Structure 1
Amino acid sequence: MATVALRSAAGKWIMVSAILASSMGFIDGTALNVVLPSLQKSLQASGADLFWVLNAYLLMLASLILIGGSMGDRLGRKKVFMAGIFIFICGSAACGFAPDVLYLVIFRLIQGIGGALMIPGSLSMISSSINQQERGKAIGTWSAFTTVVTMGGPVLGGALADAGLWRYIFFINVPIGVAALIMLWLKVKESKDEDNQQTLDFPGAITIALGLALVTFGFLRMPAMSFSNWQVWGALTTGVLFLIAFIIIEAKSKYPMMPLQLFANATFSGTNLLTFFLYAGLGAGMLFMSLNLVQVQGYTQLQSGLTFLPFTLMMISVARYAGALADKYGPRLLLIFGPATAGLGLLILSFVKQTTGPGDYWVTFFPGIIVFGLGISFTVAPLTAAVMGSVSDHFSGTASGVNNAMSRIANVFATAIFGALSVLFFTGALQQQIKTIKLNPKQKQEVMAQAADLGNAKVPQGIAEGKLIEQAYHQSFIKAYANIMRIAAGLGFLGALMAVLFVRNSLKSSTT
């Protein structure tokens, strides 16, 4: 397919439809983090239920996004992109009507199927349709707009949650998706790899889906069952075996969904490792900061959403500029500076203790958010440009799928592993906190039983020392939050190290 200029009518329609559709997928995650307290109360959900609501979508997305990218390359990028948008908006509408947590988890799985077809399609269309000289700028524009909408999600989510309308976080996807479908249908031409007659890699898709599902299940069950329980170690072991089987299948398959030869390119390997570590830290940091602000620090959900506004403003002003810098000088230095700065921001945030509420925001959370936002703003566009630039055009959908899969797999593992760790940290801190409070053994047991709900833990009835118990819950959550944020910061620094070791400015490889 002939490429088009970014400023041409065709280029603009491609950009607008791609930004609208992918924004739906991204806004879901950040807005949902903010409305989780309302959702938890409304559906009477436990802490473990919340992690399932988050992970049901991410799990399906991570499992199928690779095959989604391959389908676009082979069957037609526009066709698969539109199918994904349609499934996603159907799943979103169903989520909005979910009567309980179980139904919500099931409908989130449907959303994930749509997202797996939709999210790699947006980048693949841009990479294959916009001419090469402007591709970095186009990807920077896409990154800036989608991240702005993504980071605007918490503000919208907070406003809706405070009004008792958390379900509209799902309903809002419907008009956005319909608008994107109409644009694509009327204004965007089909694009596919005409030389590619390969069959789809269903064995690979099934093994990675089962592997990720079992590993996630194992970590999510760990806080309640302990590692010694057969459900936990059995699921983790079987899941790892399925993931090993996936790599073996990909190595032997004639038409793999994740061609292992792509990883022969050091830049492609390094950027995907960087993506995994950075997005694991990002996912954990955003989730636990949102819970901390509402459940412990006394912010309303709207105020919690507004705390991310500086982040959004930095993305508007920096991301496109960073994309242009990557075009001019190469992505390497930006991919070292960005993740390291993001890690520093998470580290600064880890030192925030109990505050008196939103009035303290400017001297507590704000400095860390600014540093964190600066790091992410300088990373997103160069990272995407480095990934897409390290492979030849006919692998664009697959490369986008692999990189998006890395970020989603990172989020799945972050939510599952950090969810398990947070309960362990919270429980350990709570045991220390209640040592000085006069409680009988039964009362201690009742107090400790609330640990699974983390910041939403409630003082059991009939305990005279209710105020002290509430303070103990808050202090225990802050201790768990600090540990999680420091581990997340370490992941940011690890991402920067991947850029030092692997990323080079000469992107394209002859083997890919």
Structure 2
Amino acid sequence: MSAPPRPDVTTDVTAPTEVAPRSRWLILMVVALAQLTVVLDATIVNIALPAAQTDLGMTDGQRGAVVTVYALAFGALLLLGGRIADYWGRKRSFIVGMAGFAIASGLGGVATSGTMLLLARGFQGAFAALLAPAALAVLSVTFPSGRDRVRAFAVYGTIGGGGAAVGLVLGGVLTEYLSWHWCLLVNVPIAAVAILAAIPLLRESRADGDTHYDIPGAVLVTVGLASLVYGFSRAESGWGSWDTITFLAVGVLLIAAFVRVEAKVSHPLLPLRVLTNRVRGGAYLVSVFVGAALLGALLYLTFHFQIVLGMTPLQAGLASLPMTAAIVVTAPLVSRLLGTVGPRVLMTAGPLVAAAGLLWLSQISVGGSYAAEVLPGQLLLGVGLALVFVPLQNVALLGIEPRDSGVASAAVTATQQIGGSIGTAVFTAIYASVVASSIATSGPSLKALVDGYSSVFIAGAVGLIIAAPVAWFLIKVDRSTFTVDEGAVHLG
């Protein structure tokens, strides 16, 4: 049995009601800072990679591994990190995750070899897998219901949707005017501020009752998710290769075994009730499609900016900002609409609007202008993503038992991570095929690259269009849930 709670530790039942209203918004700022750090890290490092490769003498394989190692550690350990946060304590997990992420970032920032950078990225991913679900769980228990919860998750969703583009700008500034090292070192002062604020502000909360760890489930899901993420990363060089097929097959089998174990054990790592609810299941599916489409849009749009339009990394980052601006402007409006029209309408319209943005972007040409061919599509994409992200974060954690807040939060992040891995593999395969066909027809040219980018945007739009009926038929929640501060949660 677990030891009784210490005097300074509040249980899940009492923690949310003991947080003063003013402190709750300060807590939101701390959680938002942590989320921004994790989101920024993906794109900011991508901008730094060419300079880091030259400086450290890395091979092309090592350069790709810098991204893959982080994704492997982060994606594989997310569910375990979420359950550790539930059992060990969300405040403690938040602080340790933030501190570990900062130390790993510092190690990467002073790396003198490719091996040192790869180790740092692995540790970054591991600590991010503890930090991300702990941060979202803290937010969930701090804002248990009502209008304030909607506003809090609107901020969180805005950062999730727009932080990647901000990372491109910051990465461009740091790489161009300082050095690639600062793309990692910048995390250290940000983490220090978050930790110093978290110590007095956050109240400890953890799952009450029996808290035994599900070791078999932890092993199965960690290895299974790692195998899936790695398999999708290898698919970039060909879906028919033996390693792609092997790792994807092993990943699917291990995840299936994990589900079977979770259905039988008394203390599951991921209680199946978290996933099997129709509303939450629909939210997780939408999250996969949106995560994949967002990654494809940002990655290949950045390529278009730099390779076709001839922009510097900084200019490319700045050119990505209109999408972020659209998210920031739209998110507060969506949070007000959530209690009026409900999440079902918003999460159905959002993918369709975002898909319209990607279809607009698919019309890019070699000689076209940014203002005519890119800007309108970015604005539509930003509005559509805001329509999805604000209700998504609310719905995905709605009705979750307090003791499961950490692992449910991890499941949300895991769906986005898996979606991103699938998107990278699928879009890369489509891009390579279209470019090869175009070159075979008319020879090497910028037009061949643009044809590849256009095909990626169309594929992303198709995925988003599929997400719309998923949301319409599965996301059924009483809209009054988002307007009252107390009361039952009504899931369809």
Category of TM-score, reference length = shorter chain: 0.7 to 0.9
1:492 aligns with 2:432: no
Aligned to 1:271: 283
CA distance in 1, matches of 2:280, 2:239: 35
SS of aligned partner of 1:191: strand
- Superposed CA offset, 1:359-388 (max 9, x none): x21112111101101101222111111112
Aligned to 1:343: 355
Aligned to 2:300: 288
Aligned to 1:259: 271
1:380 aligns with 2:389: yes
SS of aligned partner of 1:378: helix
2:424 to 415, 435, 446: 415
Aligned to 1:86: 99
In the TM superposition, residue 4 of structure 1 has moved relative to its aligned partner by: 4.8
Aligned to 1:369: 378
- Superposed CA offset, 1:51-109 (max 9, x none): 43323222222211112222222221101111111111112112223344444333222
SS of aligned partner of 1:389: coil
Q: Conserved in 2, the CA contact under 8 Å of 1:81 and 1:122? A: yes
Aligned to 1:193: 207
CA distance in 2, matches of 1:494, 1:7: 42
Q: Conserved in 1, the CA contact under 8 Å of 2:476 and 2:491? A: no
SS of aligned partner of 2:204: coil
Aligned to 2:73: 60
Q: Conserved in 2, the CA contact under 8 Å of 1:271 and 1:383? A: yes
Equivalent residue letter for 2:354 = A
CA distance in 1, matches of 2:420, 2:132: 15
1:209 aligns with 2:209: no
Aligned to 2:477: 505
CA distance in 2, matches of 1:101, 1:480: 31
CA distance in 2, matches of 1:77, 1:330: 30
CA RMSD of aligned residues (A): 2.6
Q: Conserved in 1, the CA contact under 8 Å of 2:427 and 2:459? A: no
Written as runs of structure 1 = structure 2, the 5 A alignment for 1:99-498 is: 99-133=112-146, 134-145=148-159, 147-163=161-177, 165-195=179-209, 197-222=210-235, 224=237, 226-355=238-367, 360-434=369-443, 472-498=444-470
Equivalent residue letter for 2:196 = I
CA distance in 2, matches of 1:288, 1:43: 26
1:6–1:353: structure 2 CA closer, same or farther, 3 Å change rule? farther
CA distance in 1, matches of 2:182, 2:353: 35
CA distance in 2, matches of 1:87, 1:477: 40
CA distance in 2, matches of 1:286, 1:271: 22
Aligned to 2:10: none
SS of aligned partner of 2:435: helix
- Superposed CA offset, 1:136-191 (max 9, x none): 12211333355554432221111222236222111111001111111111222211
SS of aligned partner of 1:316: helix
Question: Greater shift after overlay, 376-385 or 53-62?
Answer: 53-62
Aligned to 1:454: none
1:48–1:337: structure 2 CA closer, same or farther, 3 Å change rule? farther
In the TM superposition, residue 475 of structure 1 has moved relative to its aligned partner by: 2.7
Q: Conserved in 1, the CA contact under 8 Å of 2:334 and 2:387? A: yes
Q: Conserved in 2, the CA contact under 8 Å of 1:267 and 1:390? A: no
1:325–1:511: structure 2 CA closer, same or farther, 3 Å change rule? closer
- Superposed CA offset, 1:449-468 (max 9, x none): xxxxxxxxxxxxxxxxxxxx
CA distance in 1, matches of 2:467, 2:278: 14
Aligned positions, number: 470
Taking structure 1 as the reference length, the TM-score comes to 0.85
In the TM superposition, residue 293 of structure 1 has moved relative to its aligned partner by: 1.3
Q: Conserved in 1, the CA contact under 8 Å of 2:348 and 2:468? A: yes
Mind listing any 5+ residue stretches in structure 1 that lack a counterpart?
435-471
- Superposed CA offset, 1:454-487 (max 9, x none): xxxxxxxxxxxxxxxxxx2533322221111111
CA distance in 2, matches of 1:320, 1:60: 34
CA distance in 2, matches of 1:300, 1:316: 25
CA distance in 2, matches of 1:500, 1:296: 38
SS of aligned partner of 2:476: coil
1:51–1:484: structure 2 CA closer, same or farther, 3 Å change rule? farther
2:36 to 19, 23, 27: 23
Q: Conserved in 1, the CA contact under 8 Å of 2:157 and 2:386? A: no
CA distance in 2, matches of 1:388, 1:327: 16
1:208–1:297: structure 2 CA closer, same or farther, 3 Å change rule? farther
- Superposed CA offset, 1:242-296 (max 9, x none): 2222222222222222211223321100000000111111112111111221123
Q: Conserved in 2, the CA contact under 8 Å of 1:223 and 1:424? A: no
Equivalent residue letter for 1:65 = L
Q: Conserved in 1, the CA contact under 8 Å of 2:32 and 2:156? A: yes
CA distance in 2, matches of 1:354, 1:37: 24
Q: Conserved in 2, the CA contact under 8 Å of 1:38 and 1:164? A: no
Q: Conserved in 2, the CA contact under 8 Å of 1:5 and 1:11? A: no
Question: Greater shift after overlay, 86-95 or 50-59?
Answer: 50-59
